[in-house]
A and B are shown apart, each in its own frame.
Chain A
Amino acid sequence: MMQVVSRAEWRARERRREHLFQVISACIVLLAITTLVVLLTKILLDGYARLNPQFFTSFPSRRAEQAGILPALVGSAYLLLLTAAIAIPIGVGAAIYLEEFAKRNWFTRLIEINITNLAGVPSVIYGLLGLQVFVRTLAMDRSLLAGACTMALLALPVIITAAREGLRVVPKSLRDGSLALGATQWQTVRYSVLPVAMPSILTGVILSLSRVIGETAPLLVVGAVVYIGTLPESVFSKFTVLPVQVYNWTTRPQHAFQENAAAGIIVLLLLLLTLNAVAIYLRNHFQKRLPI
């Protein structure tokens, strides 16, 4: 049933409703910010006391206050480098193929749709893939190499997308100029496109790789070990990484281990921050230096 109201009353009512919605939405947006602040504060408060030199130079231990993250830190660094060494050439190569070489036909579409869908596959499934292909079939066992291969496959869709974005920055005129001078497609890419696109490709690739640092589930499945008394010596060694160590400490019932977990998280977040800062620095640096 409609109710007759005066125009002034209607306006006032609408204004109240408008106002109420703005307040509610501002509160909700604040919720996201508050959550982030609370999360970071909680972790800092829990973990900062454990951040001493001994924590960085010790192996995991049954005694929380003697345990450290040395093998996890070294393992994370090796894993990142190895993953980058595998995933960057393949990812950038695939991006170059799709952007510069591929004809627009159904097969190219298939590859593109495929990459989009792979980006949506849960990471734990990549763990199962790695377990069956690298650990068992290729007999790499539960090694650093198996972990890196798995992570490389996981990172590929994101790297390809990032590298394609980077290649799109290069203006078409540059390619046309090179081709008009008689250069082949690959010579054009190699000498004209890549030097220009490299900084933006690199930025995107580093940002995508920073996810590798935080991934836990696929490495648990592939078999990162938790108790480890030695540092990895080769790519076939057993290994552990920072997030796996954090997971292990978090699931212990003793409170002291959870402090260790928080301290490990602080280190993990600092690592992520560093990687992102490097990416941003690279972007700004190259942007300024290159002539237009």
Chain B
Amino acid sequence: MPSNTPSEVSVAYPRAVVRVGSTARNRRRVRIEEAVVRLFLFVCAFIGVLTTFAIVFILISESMHFFEKVSPMKFLTGTVWTPTFSNPSFGVLPLVLGTVLTSLIALLLAGPVGLITAVYLSEYASPRVRRVVKPTLEVLAGIPTVVYGYFALTFLTPLLQRFIPGLEGFNALSAGLVMGIMILPTIASLSEDALYAVPNSLRYASLALGATRFQTVWGVVVPAAMSGVSASFLLGVSRAVGETMIVAIAAGQQPNFTLNPLRAVETMTAYIVRITMGDTPHGSVEYRTIFAVGLLLFLITLALNLFSERVRQRYKGARL
């Protein structure tokens, strides 16, 4: 998608006539209008803060009800997740492992590919190549995730099954790979920004010392941009952890306690969707599991985002 900053600044002539005149009544009206508008605008801006409070409050209060019935220790360390069975077990680790597995596969694909794409775009590519690649990445970033899910299930899984015997119809591997494609634009464009911010003096100094271009890029430029690059990786992982549709469609919805990428797994997000789509009675323990799982998901992504922000700030401060 194109950026929304116009290349030229356009200025219109103010069309409306502002009421002038300094009668006391007039001034009072203007002052009241000013105060009302200011209050309204402030409320608009404050809705964001309210949203955060609401999210935190709902997740915690509903989870509290859940933890009255199930001990947090059992929740966090149990390896069997069968909340809808008649003899339920509430160990969240299979969901966590499913999330970790798919996100890790996504990062293993999107990390190296994103970094190399960024290096290529910022250090090597001709303007013509950039004009093709950048819009491609933007289009990839704009494709709805349900479309990626369809692609993983109906194209990638059958394709991989030809080469990998024993690959289940729903599996972590193809869901993770497609998720990697999904987070690739994030990693590539943020890493490119970081590489771009490395001052040219560093490149010239390295080249003047007799280093080759390859040595300059990998020995000087990439290390100098390392914190920005790591920040982009962290943000990409956070996206992958929170991604829902790809895994709900292609990874299967079975909470297996496994790190085997060929098997079906269920992530935290996919579990939330599965339960809310079913007819679990409102207020029951299994209904409240979605808020406990949601709280865990929220905390994980928040930690990743904050960490990513910190890493990026450090690199801003260290700019030469």
A interface residues (Cβ-Cβ under 8 A, vs B): 14, 17-18, 21-22, 24-26, 28-29, 31-33, 35-36, 38-39, 42-43, 46, 89-91, 93-94, 96-98, 101-102, 110-111, 114-118, 120-129, 131-133, 136, 153, 156-157, 160, 162, 165-166, 169-171, 174, 178, 181-187, 190-192, 195-196, 199-200, 203-204, 207, 210, 213-217, 220-221, 223, 243, 246-247, 250-251, 258, 261-262, 265, 268-269, 272, 276, 279-280, 283, 286-287, 290-292
Contact residue among B37, B59, B214, B249 (Cβ-Cβ distance under 8 Å from A186) = B37
With A42-B155, A214-B146, A291-B11 already in contact, the answer to whether A93 and B4 are too (CB < 8 A) is: no
Name which of B40, B137, B294 has the most chain A CB atoms within 10 A of its CB: B294
A-B contact pairs, 27 of them (CB 8 A): A17-B212, A18-B212, A22-B124, A24-B116, A29-B129, A36-B140, A93-B41, A93-B45, A97-B44, A124-B242, A125-B59, A125-B294, A125-B297, A129-B51, A129-B58, A133-B58, A153-B51, A165-B5, A185-B38, A186-B38, A204-B4, A216-B245, A217-B273, A223-B276, A265-B150, A283-B4, A286-B10
Interchain nearest-CB distance for A42 vs B (Å): 5
Interchain nearest-CB distance for B242 vs A (Å): 3
Contact residue among B54, B154, B215 (Cβ-Cβ distance under 8 Å from A133) = B54
Q: Are B116 and A28 neighbours in the complex by a CB distance under 8 Å? A: yes
Q: Are A221 and B276 neighbours in the complex by a CB distance under 8 Å? A: yes
Q: Are A128 and B242 neighbours in the complex by a CB distance under 8 Å? A: no
- Chain A residues near B139 (CB-CB < 8 A): 36
User: Residue B6 at the A interface, CB < 8 A?
Assistant: yes
Q: Are B45 and A98 neighbours in the complex by a CB distance under 8 Å? A: yes
With A28-B113, A32-B117, A42-B155 already in contact, the answer to whether A122 and B150 are too (CB < 8 A) is: no
Name which of B140, B244, B309 has the most chain A CB atoms within 10 A of its CB: B244
Closest to A157 in B: B48
Interchain nearest-CB distance for B308 vs A (Å): 9
Top 7 A-B pairs ranked by shortest CB distance?
A122-B242, A214-B144, A93-B44, A217-B244, A97-B41, A204-B4, A290-B10
Number of interface residues of B (CB under 8 A): 97
- Considering the chains assembled together, what is the distance between the CA atoms of A262 and B41 in angstroms? 43
From B14-22, B73-81, B84-92, give the one contacting chain A.
B14-22
B interface residues (Cβ-Cβ under 8 A, vs A): 1-2, 4-6, 8-16, 18, 20, 30, 33-34, 37-38, 40-49, 51-52, 54-55, 58-59, 62, 113, 116-117, 119-121, 124-125, 129, 132-133, 136-137, 139-140, 142-147, 149-151, 153-155, 181, 184, 188, 212-215, 235, 238, 241-245, 248-249, 269, 272-273, 276-277, 282, 290-291, 294, 297-298, 301-302, 305-306, 309
Closest to A39 in B: B151
Q: Are B45 and A156 neighbours in the complex by a CB distance under 8 Å? A: no
Closest to B177 in A: A35
Closest to B8 in A: A287
Closest to B36 in A: A186
- Considering the chains assembled together, what is the distance between the CA atoms of A38 and B181 in angstroms? 13
Known: A17-B214, A25-B117, A127-B276. 17 other contacts (CB 8 A): A25-B120, A29-B133, A32-B117, A36-B139, A121-B242, A123-B242, A129-B55, A165-B5, A191-B15, A213-B144, A216-B244, A251-B249, A258-B154, A269-B143, A276-B142, A287-B10, A291-B10
With A28-B113, A101-B41 already in contact, the answer to whether A33 and B133 are too (CB < 8 A) is: yes
Chief secondary structure at chain B's binding surface: helix
- Considering the chains assembled together, what is the distance between the CA atoms of A169 and B10 in angstroms? 8
Q: Are B150 and A217 neighbours in the complex by a CB distance under 8 Å? A: no
Q: Are B48 and A114 neighbours in the complex by a CB distance under 8 Å? A: yes
Name which of B137, B139, B150, B269 has the most chain A CB atoms within 10 A of its CB: B150
Q: Are A43 and B4 neighbours in the complex by a CB distance under 8 Å? A: no
Q: Are B244 and A114 neighbours in the complex by a CB distance under 8 Å? A: no
- Considering the chains assembled together, what is the distance between the CA atoms of A195 and B6 in angstroms? 15
- Chain A residues near B153 (CB-CB < 8 A): 250
Interchain nearest-CB distance for A180 vs B (Å): 13
- Chain A residues near B181 (CB-CB < 8 A): 32, 35
With A128-B294, A214-B146 already in contact, the answer to whether A290 and B11 are too (CB < 8 A) is: yes
Contact residue among A90, A262, A291 (Cβ-Cβ distance under 8 Å from B47) = A90
Interchain nearest-CB distance for B152 vs A (Å): 10
With A32-B133, A131-B276, A191-B18 already in contact, the answer to whether A184 and B34 are too (CB < 8 A) is: yes
Q: Are B9 and A125 neighbours in the complex by a CB distance under 8 Å? A: no
With A165-B4, A283-B4 already in contact, the answer to whether A128 and B290 are too (CB < 8 A) is: yes
- Chain A residues near B38 (CB-CB < 8 A): 97, 101, 185-186
